[in-house]
Amino acid sequence: MERPAKRLSLFSESQTLAMARKSRELKAQGVDVVSLSLGEPDLDTPLNVKEAAKQAIDDNWSHYPPVAGYPELREACARKFKEQNGLHYSPEQIIVSTGAKQSIANVVLSLIDPGDEVIIPAPYWVSYLEMVRLAEGVPVVIRAGIETDFKVSAQQLEAAITPRTQLIMYSSPSNPTGSCYTRAELEAFADVMRRHPHVMVLSDEIYEHILFKGEHVSIASLPNMSERVITVNGVSKGYAMTGWRIGYIGAPLWVAKACDKMQGQFTSGANSIAQRASIVAVNTPKADLMPMVEIFRKRRDLVVALFSDIPGMRVNVPDGAFYLFPDVSALLGRTYRGHMVNTSYELCMYLLEVAHVAMVSGDAFGAPECVRISYATSDDVLREAARRIKAALA
């Protein structure tokens, strides 16, 4: 008798992973699918990082690592936070996990009790909402549209806080929009937070190195905020190491200890070889990452031009990450072979079926009027995708 646990009904499958799976299934059937669905750099892991992994194998780093991560990696993360973000975490305040996704899940499960409220600005990364639901918390979504570059205001944040609010979680640069909060905007958020000392902040900064304009600001670096903020980062995006599965947090010591305890009963320490390679990655000077940033900047400019030219797609200019988040409201309510396309999900399925281009519906990100396009692929692939989409929408 099939009887899965009731908790599985509390949350949904990741739509980004679901769309990737459908794309693979079509490709296996011989269909020429162009996938713009996964947030994964198409660049290879740097050679020195790969060499460090090979050396780690030869040096027999093949035993159980500490739950919180090797001391050398935690020290490297603490040094990176200090030098690049102005954050002063001791190695004991760093917890290394199997990807930033586990880092975030550890925090949510360690802080949120049933009925606790968690404020999530929308558009949001798909898993934020589901992690809160799994913890039996109450997601409180505040929305922003393309008119404000998908960024919420301090006034919206203040209005959403109640005595039951325990956490605010956001990403900057953002997945799915590529939007980045400025220093002034984060200072306004911090002013709100200081008036509500019972609320913690989770700042997801996994895309910090892929920034095309201005400076990256960690909200924990602002006055009187370090004890209120959990800063999440990892090696997946900035160092093209998605498959290595290493993420980490810098947090108040009590939060770090809670996440250490949580992780110790679920996965224990992250992969030993990936950790040794990540020491080299995290120690990489920021200047060495600029060639990668320039590649994504050029692609950003290309996709903005390509998709601005498609009637019905309303596009803004993202400042970071590698996503475009067009508003497709004008394309909804149309028919194809007698079938009405009413939602962005139906639009994505139509484009997958007819144009053989995979994107992700904005429903998954709390913005049903939009779709997410990942431009972490070659210029030729992006041009072909835009050509197919334009033809299919016509």
User: What's the whole-number mean pLDDT along residues 67-73?
Assistant: 98
Distance, in Å, from the CA atom of 274 to the CA atom of 89, rounded to the nearest integer, reads 22
Q: Which two tokens stand for residue 117?
A: 């409220």
Q: Is the pLDDT of residue 9 over 90?
A: no
Residue (of 146, 173, 141) closest to 326 by Cα position: 146
**Mean pLDDT within 316-334:** 97
Asked if pLDDT for residue 245 goes beyond 90, the answer is yes
Per CATH, is 6-44+289-393 categorized as 1.10.3720.10?
no
Per-residue pLDDT at 20: 76
Q: Are the beta carbons of 307 and 313 closer than 8 angstroms?
A: yes
d(CA 115, CA 135): 9
pLDDT of 144: 98
What are the distances in angstroms from CA 67 to CA 138, 267, 314, 333?
A: 29, 8, 46, 51
Q: Please spell the DSSP secondary structure of 194-247, one letter per residue.
A: HT-TT-EEEEE-TTTT-B-SS----GGGSTT-GGGEEEEEESTTTTT-GGG--E
Contacts (Cβ under 8 Å, ≥6 apart) of 68:
74, 94, 95, 96, 256, 260, 263, 269
The rounded mean pLDDT for the chain is 95
CA dihedral over 234, 291, 151, 123, signed as positive or negative:
negative
pLDDT-derived band at 295, boundaries 50, 70, 90: very high
Most confident option among 35-49, 205-219, 329-343: 205-219
pLDDT for residue 39: 82
The DSSP bridge partners found for residue 187 are none
> Which residue ranges make up each domain of the chain?
6-44+289-393, 47-285
Q: Which residues contact 242 (CB under 8 A, 6 or more apart)?
A: 40, 41, 236
- pLDDT value at residue 310: 97
pLDDT tens for each residue of 78-132: 999 999 999 999 999 999 999 999 999 999 999 999 999 999 999 999 999 999 9
Hey, is 186 helix, strand or coil? Answer: helix
**What sign for the dihedral angle of Cα 185, 208, 113, 366?**
positive
- Of 83 and 353, the one with more pLDDT: 83
What percent of the chain lies above the pLDDT cut of 90? 87
Q: Which amino acid is at 316?
A: N
Of 344, 39, 44, which is closest to residue 174 (Cα–Cα)? 39
- Residue 4 dihedral angles phi and psi, to the nearest 5°: -65, 160
**134-143 CB contacts, 8 Å cutoff, 24+ apart:** 134/7, 134/10, 134/11, 134/105, 134/108, 134/109, 135/108, 135/109, 136/10, 136/112, 137/108, 137/112, 137/113, 137/166, 137/167, 138/164, 140/165, 141/366, 143/366, 143/367
388 has a pLDDT exceeding 90: yes
**pLDDT of the residue at 31:** 87
Q: How confident is the model at residue 281 (pLDDT cuts 50, 70, 90)?
A: very high
**Per-residue pLDDT, 371:** 97
Confidence tier at 17 by pLDDT (50, 70, 90): confident
Rounded distance, CA 263 to CA 101, Å? 12
pLDDT band (50, 70, 90) for residue 41: confident
Dihedral sign for Cα atoms in the order 163, 204, 266, 66? negative
pLDDT one-digit tens code per residue, 45-66: 999 999 999 999 999 999 999 9
Distance between CA atoms of residues 226 and 194, nearest Å: 12
Mean of the pLDDT values across residues 246-265? 98
| Position 308 pLDDT exceeds 80 | yes
Q: How far apart are CA 319 and CA 297, in angstroms?
A: 9
Q: Is the bond preceding residue 121 a cis peptide, omega within 30 degrees?
A: no
Structure tokens that stand for 146 in this block: 């393309």
293, 212 in Cβ contact below 8 A?
yes
Count of residues in the chain: 394
pTM: 0.95
Q: Flag whether pLDDT at 27 surpasses 90.
A: no
pLDDT of residue 120: 98
Which residue did the predictor score with more confidence, 256 or 353? 256
For residues 106 and 123, give the distance between their C-alpha atoms in angstroms, rounded to a whole number.
22
d(CA 33, CA 184): 42
Structure tokens at 302: 């290309």
Is residue 335 very low, low, confident or very high in pLDDT (cuts 50, 70, 90)?
confident
Residue 340 pLDDT: 83
Smallest Cα–Cα separation from 164: which of 136, 205, 202, 143?
136
- The CATH code for residues 47-285 is 3.40.640.10
Query: Are 27 and 364 a contacting pair, CB within 8 Å?
Result: no
